[in-house]
């Protein structure tokens, strides 16, 4: 699987569609898989929702898109390929089966004026209703110049009028992050009079970079950008999509890519996972906040608590009882000025395999060190680091979810990192805190063993 698609809450149930190859653990022959949940945590697989069908505009693949509620009728808008176009499907049995609209494609390709620039990359419709119109964003590019998002509008979801580019690489002058050559999977969320626009950047060679967000305003069909940053760090999280649930929460999922070789994926028989559900919000100072959905707490099983102690230079504090490979860890601490400390997990008793989450106070860097994460050389071992802005005297909170090969870390609910680790040894389950230099006050450390979501 890859991207989450068509996120919608329908009659109380959360529907999660996703890019899916039923034939092999690799990208190809893309269908829409479908799963449903009442609590964002436990999922039931439903039959495939969209299948590429000969003779139709989606014959070569049903690529990414979205779901909307058109006065009680569920509608999917998605990408047909070769050439890339926008298709529409409807359901009359509560999202279980989908009828391909006979007038497809509803958008047959890029606007003629931009065809030269775009050269065929035109996909991932994202649709929302505002005022008198349905609006649509499409991810695309200007060859040699960078990514671009196009704006369309419609009264009926069928006839679409091209308006203009909503955001163009370079033109926003926001930098400092390189956003690649092509922008995929655009999304636009509304928080009062502010907007959060995000998309995923790809290089000209098709290498997937990261998702990028821009905070700004949308007025008179124009987007004015204020700040830009990377939405998710760590290298695995890509092509997120978000939607509002009935409680008004903006919930986002992303695709967590594999970071192991194709042959290891073949051996495993699967590739790609969905991230945790992440709640997005904006602070009054235009700060994006990312936090794990509170529902995840229902998976908490056995609990250990520690805290109110100082860990200093060259010391280690093991948590032998709470070892495991499915854990939630919540750490709140006050790192001293010259402190470097961290947490080791998926650690073998002799330390041969271990993954470290390390904070270095002097550089305000948080790193996930994977250099010893696996004895298998066929998996990624790169470390990743982010700069964490920590106001002086403010505690650092790491909220960590470990699910076997998946490691997701929320830092002060301000930054989110996701990476993949593939320890080989069955005894790589240990956990400890350590300090390399200076000292850190550990206010609290909570560790929960997590239940499987498939038990109930
Ligand atoms: C992003 C993406 C989308 C496309 C889909 C194809 O990962 O490349 O742009 O619609 O995946 O599976």
User: Model confidence over 16-63: pLDDT tens digits?
Assistant: 999 999 999 999 999 999 999 999 999 999 999 999 999 999 999 999
Distance from C-alpha of 82 to C-alpha of 80, rounded to nearest angstrom:
7
Number of structural domains (the chain) is 2
Residue 253, number of CB atoms within 10 A of its CB: 24
CATH number at residue 392: 2.60.120.560
239 lines ligand 1 (CB under 6 A): yes
- Based on the fold, state whether residues 130 and 253 are members of the same structural domain: yes
241 lines ligand 1 (CB under 6 A): no
Distance (angstroms) between ligand 1 centre and the Cα of 191 equals 26
In a domain, residue 421? The reply is yes
Distance (angstroms) between ligand 1 centre and the Cα of 160 equals 22
Distance (angstroms) between ligand 1 centre and the Cα of 2 equals 8
Catalytically annotated residues: 3
- Based on the fold, state whether residues 275 and 316 are members of the same structural domain: no
Nearest protein CA to atom 8 of ligand 1, as residue = 184
Reported confidence tier of residue 391, pLDDT bands at 50, 70, 90: confident
Average pLDDT over residues 200-209: 95
Among 269, 292, 315, where does a domain finish?
292
Average pLDDT over residues 292-303: 98
- Based on the fold, state whether residues 222 and 319 are members of the same structural domain: no
User: Phi/psi class of residue 361: alpha, beta or left (left: φ > 0; alpha: ψ in -120 to 50)?
Assistant: alpha
Query: Which strands make up the sheet holding 406-411, listed edge to edge?
Result: 300-312, 439-450, 326-335, 396-403, 406-411, 415-420
- Based on the fold, state whether residues 313 and 392 are members of the same structural domain: yes
At 175 the pLDDT is 59
Among 246, 274, 292, where does a domain finish?
292
In a domain, residue 456? The reply is no
Whether the Cβ atoms of residue 117 and residue 139 lie closer than 8 Å to each other: no
Query: Which strands make up the sheet holding 146-154, listed edge to edge?
Result: 123-130, 133-142, 146-154, 161-168
Encoded tokens for 194:
């502010």
- Based on the fold, state whether residues 118 and 266 are members of the same structural domain: yes
From the CA of 79, give the closest atom in ligand 1: 10
- Based on the fold, state whether residues 166 and 285 are members of the same structural domain: yes
Q: Are strands 182-191 and 161-168 parallel, antiparallel or unpaired?
A: unpaired
User: Model confidence over 162-193: pLDDT tens digits?
Assistant: 999 999 997 555 557 889 999 999 999 999 99
Q: Which of 157, 161, 252, 245 is nearest to 213 (CA)?
A: 252
pLDDT of 393 over the 80 cut: no
In a domain, residue 246? The reply is yes
Average pLDDT, the chain: 96
At 189 the pLDDT is 98
In a domain, residue 455? The reply is no
Cα-based angle 124, 129, 133 (whole degrees, multiple of 5): 105
Reported confidence tier of residue 353, pLDDT bands at 50, 70, 90: very high
242 lines ligand 1 (CB under 6 A): no
pLDDT of 431 over the 60 cut: yes
At 171 the pLDDT is 56
pLDDT of 93 over the 60 cut: yes
At 174 the pLDDT is 56
From the CA of 63, give the closest atom in ligand 1: 10
- Based on the fold, state whether residues 363 and 306 are members of the same structural domain: yes
Distance (angstroms) between ligand 1 centre and the Cα of 32 equals 12
Among 259, 276, 292, where does a domain finish?
292
Task: Number of helices (H) and strands (E) in the chain: give both, helices first.
Answer: 2, 33
Structural domain containing residue 380: 300-450
User: Model confidence over 64-75: pLDDT tens digits?
Assistant: 999 999 999 999
The helix/strand/coil state of 263 is: helix
User: Model confidence over 238-290: pLDDT tens digits?
Assistant: 999 999 999 999 999 999 999 999 999 999 999 999 999 999 999 999 999 99
Q: Is 37 exposed, middle or buried (0-12, 13-18, 19+ CB in 10 A)?
A: middle
Is 0.75 surpassed by the pTM of this model? yes
124 lines ligand 1 (CB under 6 A): yes
């Amino acid at each position: 699987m890859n991207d989450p698609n068509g996120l919608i809450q329908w009659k109380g149930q959360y529907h999660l569609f996703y890019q899916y190859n039923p034939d092999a653990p690799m990208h190809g022959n893309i269908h829409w898989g479908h799963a449903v949940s009442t609590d964002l945590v436990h999922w039931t697989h439903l039959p495939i929702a969209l299948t590429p069908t000969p003779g139709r505009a989606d014959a070569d693949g049903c690529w990414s898109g979205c779901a909307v509620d058109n006065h009680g009728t569920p509608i999917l808008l998605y990408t047909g390929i070769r050439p890339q176009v926008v298709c529409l499907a409807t359901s009359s049995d509560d999202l279980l089966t989908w009828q391909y609209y006979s007038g497809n494609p509803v958008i047959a390709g890029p606007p003629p004026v931009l065809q030269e620039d775009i050269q065929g990359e035109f996909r991932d419709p994202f649709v929302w209703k505002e005022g008198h119109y349905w609006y649509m964003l499409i991810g695309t590019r200007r060859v040699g110049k960078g990514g671009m998002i196009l704006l369309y509008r419609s009264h009926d979801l069928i006839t679409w009028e091209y308006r203009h580019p909503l955001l163009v690489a370079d033109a926003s002058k926001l930098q400092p992050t390189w956003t690649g050559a092509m922008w995929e999977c655009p999304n636009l969320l509304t928080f009062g009079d502010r907007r959060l626009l995000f998309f995923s950047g790809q290089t000209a060679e098709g290498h997937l970079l990261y998702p990028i967000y821009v905070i700004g305003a949308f007025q008179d069909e124009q987007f004015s950008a204020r700040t830009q940053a990377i939405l998710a760090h760590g290298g695995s999280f890509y092509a997120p999509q978000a939607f509002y649930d009935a409680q008004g929460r903006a919930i986002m999922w992303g695709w967590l890519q594999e970071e192991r070789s194709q042959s290891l994926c073949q051996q495993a028989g699967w590739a790609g996972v969905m991230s945790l559900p992440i709640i997005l919000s904006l602070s009054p100072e235009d700060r994006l906040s990312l936090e794990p959905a509170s529902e995840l707490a229902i998976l908490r099983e056995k609990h250990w608590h520690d805290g109110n102690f100082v860990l200093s230079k060259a010391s280690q504090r093991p948590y032998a009882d709470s070892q495991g490979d499915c854990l939630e860890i919540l750490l709140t601490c006050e790192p001293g000025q010259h402190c470097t400390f961290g947490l080791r997990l998926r650690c073998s008793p002799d330390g041969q395999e271990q993954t470290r989450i390390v904070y270095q106070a002097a550089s305000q860097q948080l790193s996930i060190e994977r250099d010893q994460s696996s004895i298998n050389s066929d998996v990624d071992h790169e470390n990743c680091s982010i700069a964490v802005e920590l106001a002086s005297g403010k505690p650092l909170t790491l909220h960590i979810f470990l699910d076997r090969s998946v490691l997701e870390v929320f830092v002060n609910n301000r930054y989110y990192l996701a990476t993949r680790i593939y320890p080989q040894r069955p005894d790589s389950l240990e956990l400890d805190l350590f300090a390399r230099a200076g000292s850190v006050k550990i206010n609290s450390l909570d560790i929960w063993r997590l239940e499987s979501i498939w038990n109930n």
